[in-house]
DNA sequence: CTAGGTGCAAATAATTTGCAGAGGC
DNA sequence: GCCTCTGCAAATTATTTGCACCTAG
């Protein structure tokens, strides 16, 4: 966590003056996981410095919220709670009313819908908070096991990797199949090359996943953190299905372009939304790879259309590629 | 609002004793629209009865929340706010941080996703709260017009009717087109009959909509309250497109069945989710109509398959109809 | 030097509670 | 008669503020 100080440095201009006290408070706060009430944070601070007053803690929290370091969340139990934004994408909460534990998750699907609703009203969103109150499975089963939960950062990275791997797999299948089906030798070469790349990336991603597991061997067993309904894996999968039905090589390439473009936009868009974190990096790196593939495919598509001028013009080829 | 007392009566057993004071508080509370803080409610109560104390209001609110008459919502401004559950489906909020107004909406799409996430965790949901903080369009534009907003009840009814009407319209188009395309005379009769029914229902619904407008002539101008992304109107519309491509009458009927079933499930499912209200009734009544259509279509389908035993078996007809 | 940060104590603000009496069942 | 509701006032809890002082830029 050495980027942390750099991160804070970036924020300074917003907040004016630096001070030892505030630094301490911010520091202690960022080291914590989960949701702290002002009072809990105060107690923690007091362990380090007996002389810091409650008011200072409140003021520091207020500053952090303003500077975007922290978010204020309300669990309905009277006092406010705070959580970091640092390496911690905004997320939603499942709150168990029995054991008072809270579980986090992230759903890009929901975020998209929220955006749609807001824009339908001309509303400019700054923050959205979703809390689902109810009973957790442990409490329902009578278990009172205080299951330790991995850091959100790890879960996020895990889910981002899972998604990337799933996409890579179905991409691999798509291109392998495509290489078999395509007639044009150059198009086939491109499909084969892309298949090879997917295979290579897949290996890389799987290694990265294994490395992640080293940090917490139970990582795979924790529940999903990042929900993506029609995540990219569906894109290529349905693409592969449709591949069997394409009329010619041009259509096959176009299908590839559509899949890659969907996948690229998807990973880029979400990668951009998150705060600095391993998960964000995974998303963005993956998006960059998809962009390369996309470029390759589009180039090949243009060449193919050039070669066979007798394009049937059924679906305005150039326009589609341009998008 | 005469069902109101009956409604409260139903709740009594949960809450023990009836009392004039509490009745007054509940009464005043239910008459209000929007989100009241305890204090605002207290002021309103005081207009009726100078001697009621703040504590009593708090206690009554606490009771109401427990009894399910009210919900507690937190807008992050320090004090809690309360809103009815009565004739007021749970909903989400857009909260403008500048003018402090809040706008409600309902999104079944989001609710579905929330349910999915919760069940993926084995979490039993009791309530979900979604708050979107930001800046409303009025504040963005510098307008400070305190636009009056219609009662949620009305907006909900309006949107339910809009949805029903849209579905009815595309259903009408579907069956009209179907009647032209179908070969089998009996199948044609069914399509014609359904088209006629849709036309009739459409008229009824449109009248109902006009009546609703009498209650608030600006009703149409208020922003959408109920968001339904792939609302039923999309179902029949895409059905009509596909109608041109069906191979035979059996497929045409099957397409109708699929559309009706989708529509039926849709309206039923959501109708069931809401608290007693005009909107709920609209949903459920509409669902009942769709069920009738569905029954008719399935009957016709079975007859047709019986007539032409030479079914190609391409899509396990009976099984599909059964679902 | 000066704006902002800090501690302390006092002030608010929202909500809860103890207690004695009133009222429904 | 018992149990719950009610008013009042006092208590509690979370958070903010005034003020005098301190410190980084």
Which residue did the predictor score with more confidence, B80 or B12? B80
Whole-number pLDDT of residue B277: 79
Local structure of residue A220 (DSSP, 8 states): G
First to last CA, chain A: 40
Residue B39 has pLDDT above 80, yes or no: yes
pLDDT band for position A247 (cuts 50, 70, 90): confident
Which residue did the predictor score with more confidence, B71 or B288? B288
On whether the A152-322 domain is CATH 1.20.1260.10, my answer is yes
Segment A4-23 shows an average pLDDT of 63
pLDDT, tens digit, for every residue of B178-232? 999 888 888 899 999 999 999 999 999 999 999 999 999 899 998 898 887 756 5
Which residue did the predictor score with more confidence, A88 or A173? A173
Which residue did the predictor score with more confidence, A126 or A260? A260
What is the spatial distance between Cα A252 and Cα A241, in angstroms, rounded to a whole number? Answer: 12
What is the spatial distance between Cα B206 and Cα B153, in angstroms, rounded to a whole number? Answer: 18
Task: Check CB contact under 8 Å for B126 and A105.
Answer: no
Query: Is A256 within 8 Å of A137 (Cβ atoms)?
Result: no
Q: Which residues contact A154 (CB under 8 A, 6 or more apart)?
A: A212, A215, A216, A219, A278
Whole-number pLDDT of residue A7: 58
- The DSSP result for A26-62, as a single string, is HHHHHH--S-EEHHHHHHHHHHH-TT--HHHHHHHHH
Residue B28 has pLDDT above 60, yes or no: yes
CA A38 to mean position of chain CA atoms: 29
Neighbour-count burial for B105-138, b at 16+ CB within 10 Å, e otherwise: bbbbbbbbbbeebbeebebbbebbbbbbbbbbeb
CA B196 to mean position of chain CA atoms: 26
Query: Is B297 within 8 Å of B28 (Cβ atoms)?
Result: no
R_g of chain A, CA atoms, integer Å: 24
- Can you give the residue ranges of every domain in chain A? 15-86, 89-147, 152-322
Task: Check CB contact under 8 Å for A135 and B124.
Answer: yes
pLDDT, tens digit, for every residue of B41-68? 999 999 888 889 999 999 999 988 888 7
A126 CA vs D11 C1’ separation (Å): 39
What is the spatial distance between Cα A132 and Cα A228, in angstroms, rounded to a whole number? Answer: 18
The two beta strands, B124-135 and A124-135, are antiparallel
The minimum CA-CA distance between A22 and chain B, rounded to whole Å, is 24
Interface of A with B (CB under 8 A): 72, 74, 76, 92, 94, 96-97, 103, 105, 107, 109-110, 113-114, 116-118, 120-137, 140, 223-224, 227, 229
What is the spatial distance between Cα A92 and Cα A107, in angstroms, rounded to a whole number? Answer: 8
What is the spatial distance between Cα B189 and Cα B242, in angstroms, rounded to a whole number? Answer: 20
pLDDT, tens digit, for every residue of A296-308? 999 989 888 876 6
Out of A132-136, B88-92, B283-287, give the one with best mean pLDDT: B283-287
CATH of A89-147, one of 3.40.50.880, 1.10.300.10, 3.30.1490.190, 2.60.120.260: 3.30.1490.190
Percent of chain A with pLDDT over 90: 34
* Spatial CA neighbour of B289 closest among B165, B133, B184: B165
Q: Which two tokens stand for residue A119?
A: 């824009």
What is the spatial distance between Cα B14 and Cα B43, in angstroms, rounded to a whole number? Answer: 27
Task: Dump strand ranges (E) for chain A.
Answer: 36-37, 70-74, 80-84, 92-96, 102-107, 124-135, 226-227
Q: Which residues contact A290 (CB under 8 A, 6 or more apart)?
A: A260, A263, A264, A267, A268
* Spatial CA neighbour of A209 closest among A150, A269, A164: A164
A contacts of B117 (beta carbons < 8 Å): 92, 94, 105, 107, 110, 132, 227
Task: Tell me which H or E stretch contains B92.
Answer: strand B92-96
CATH of A15-86, one of 1.10.10.10, 1.10.10.1150, 1.10.150.120, 3.40.50.720: 1.10.10.10
* Spatial CA neighbour of A257 closest among A312, A306, A231, A295: A295
């Amino acid at each position: 966590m050495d980027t942390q100080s750099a991160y804070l440095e970036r924020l300074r201009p917003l907040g004016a003056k630096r001070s030892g006290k505030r630094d301490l408070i911010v520091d202690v706060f960022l080291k914590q996981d989960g949701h702290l009430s002002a009072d809990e944070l105060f107690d923690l601070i007091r362990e380090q410095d007996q002389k810091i007053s409650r008011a200072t803690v409140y003021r520091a929290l207020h500053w952090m919220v303003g500077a975007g370091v922290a978010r204020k969340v309300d669990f309905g139990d009277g006092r406010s709670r705070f959580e970091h934004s640092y390496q911690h994408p905004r997320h939603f909460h499942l709150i168990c009313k029995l054991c008072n534990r809270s579980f986090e998750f992230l759903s890009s699907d929901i975020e998209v819908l929220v955006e749609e609703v807001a824009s339908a009203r001309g509303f400019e969103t700054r923050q959205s908070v979703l809390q689902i109150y109810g009973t957790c499975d442990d409490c329902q089963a009578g278990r009172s096991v205080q299951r330790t939960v991995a850091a959100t950062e790890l879960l996020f990275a895990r889910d981002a990797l899972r998604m990337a791997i799933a996409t890579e797999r179905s991409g691999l299948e798509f291109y392998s199949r495509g290489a078999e089906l395509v007639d044009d030798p150059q198009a086939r070469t491109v499909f084969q090359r892309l298949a090879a790349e997917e295979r290579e990336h897949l290996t890389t991603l799987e290694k990265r996943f294994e490395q992640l597991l080293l940090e917490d061997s139970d990582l795979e067993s924790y529940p999903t953190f990042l929900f993506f309904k029609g995540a990219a894996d569906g894109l290529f999968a349905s693409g592969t299905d449709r591949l069997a039905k394409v009329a010619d090589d041009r259509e096959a390439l176009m299908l590839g372009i559509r899949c890659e473009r969907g996948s690229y936009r998807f990973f880029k868009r979400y990668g951009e939304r998150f705060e600095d974190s391993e998960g964000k990096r995974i998303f963005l790196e993956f998006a960059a790879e998809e962009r390369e593939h996309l470029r390759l495919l589009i180039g090949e598509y243009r060449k193919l259309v050039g070669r066979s001028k007798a394009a049937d013009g059924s679906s305005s080829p150039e326009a589609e590629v341009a998008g």
